[in-house]
Every structure is written in C-alpha cells, then in structure tokens.
Amino acid sequence: MSLRLAAAAVLAMTALSTSAGAQVLSEKNISVHLALQIAEAALACGTDRVSVAVVDRTGRLRVFLQGDGAAPHNIELARRKAYTAETFGRPSGEWAQRTAPDAPATGVGQNISGQRALSDVIPLQGGVPIKVGNVTIGAIGLSGAPMGGPQEEACGKAGIEKVADQLK
C-alpha cells in the first residue's frame, strides 16, 4: 500500500470515528418493578419449590424470588438460565439444543457447542427472553419445578404474558 493511500485511509477512519457514529444511545431495559411483576406471576404459576430470577439486558440480576420449599442450588440455576436466555436472545432450552455436541453444523460450517464453555451460561431448559419487538431487554429463569424444564419455561412465559401490554 502506498504512503498516500495509507494516509487517506487513516484520515477517512478518523472522520468516521469523530462524526458519523458519534451519538448517545438510548436502550430499552427492564425496570425492577416490571421484573418483580413478571417474577411474581411466574412464581404463582409453579409450586413452592420453584426459584425465579429476572435479569436485565446486561444479564444483571434484578429480582430473585424463592418459594418456601425451594432447594438452595436453585438460586444459581435460575439465574444462569435467565442469563443464558438473555445473552442469546432465545429460550435456554432451545440454545441447549443448538449447542449440543451432536447438533448439526451452523450455516458457516461450524458447530457452536463451544459456547457452552462460556461463563454463567447453562444448557438447561427454563430460561425465557423478555423482548420488546425483536430486542431482548432481559430474561426470566426458573428452577425447581416438579416437572422440570417444560414447566419452568411455561411459567416463565406466563410471567412475561402477565405484562405483555407493557412490553410494546
């Protein structure tokens, strides 16, 4: 590359970084009150053995509720299911299937099972993203339901449905 071409490239990149993309971002997120409404509705759907975690758009824990009969390990499982659903913008059970070691290769010819090695994700059903349109603003995760992941996911969806009018 000639010196003149390199200098032109540097000037162009400098111009782009100082003008076109410089703006304040406005992002939707889940409030603690909305998270609490979702969690309470999900807890009411399950049994006293269920733990419920709601995370915001960054995966930060906003609300945690634990039924009176819930096991101590369900705290961590519920939070990680919510984190997984938020991080990947899909139910944690669906993500678990997509990333299974025997899952078919992705469109780029690579299996994505390596994602399972990421910190805080967990390949278990029970986490559901909370969305406004196509934007994931948080997620809910449940653990400890007697019927396992399918019941946990259903209760998570019921909690989100309870506030569906506020997610528009």
User: Would you state the pLDDT for residue 113?
Assistant: 67
Quick check: 20 pLDDT over 70? no
- Percentage of the residues of the chain whose pLDDT score is greater than 90: 70
pLDDT grade for 18, boundaries at 50, 70 and 90: low
Tokens at 68, concatenated: 């009176």
Domains and their CATH numbers in the chain:
28-166 (3.30.450.150)
Tokens at 51, concatenated: 């733990």
CB-based contacts of 32, cutoff 8 Å, min separation 6: 62, 63
Burial 122-157 (b: 16+ CB within 10 A, else e): bbbbbbbbbeeeeebbbbbbbbbbeeebebbbbbbe
> Virtual CA dihedral for 85, 91, 96, 99, nearest 10 degrees?
-80
Q: Give helix 32-45 / helix 149-162 axis angle, nearest 10°.
A: 130
- Percentage of the residues of the chain whose pLDDT score is greater than 70: 83
Q: Residue 39: what are its φ and ψ, rounded to 5°?
A: -65, -45
User: Would you state the pLDDT for residue 2?
Assistant: 61
Mean pLDDT across 147-153: 95
Q: Residue 127: what are its φ and ψ, rounded to 5°?
A: -110, 140
Task: Please write the tens of the pLDDT for every residue from 31-77.
Answer: 999 999 999 999 999 899 999 999 999 999 999 999 999 999 999 99
pLDDT grade for 100, boundaries at 50, 70 and 90: confident
Task: Please write the tens of the pLDDT for every residue from 101-121.
Answer: 877 765 544 557 678 878 899
User: Would you state the pLDDT for residue 129?
Assistant: 98
User: Would you state the pLDDT for residue 21?
Assistant: 72
Mean pLDDT across 140-150: 96
User: Would you state the pLDDT for residue 109?
Assistant: 44
User: Would you state the pLDDT for residue 7?
Assistant: 58
Largest CA distance in the chain: 72
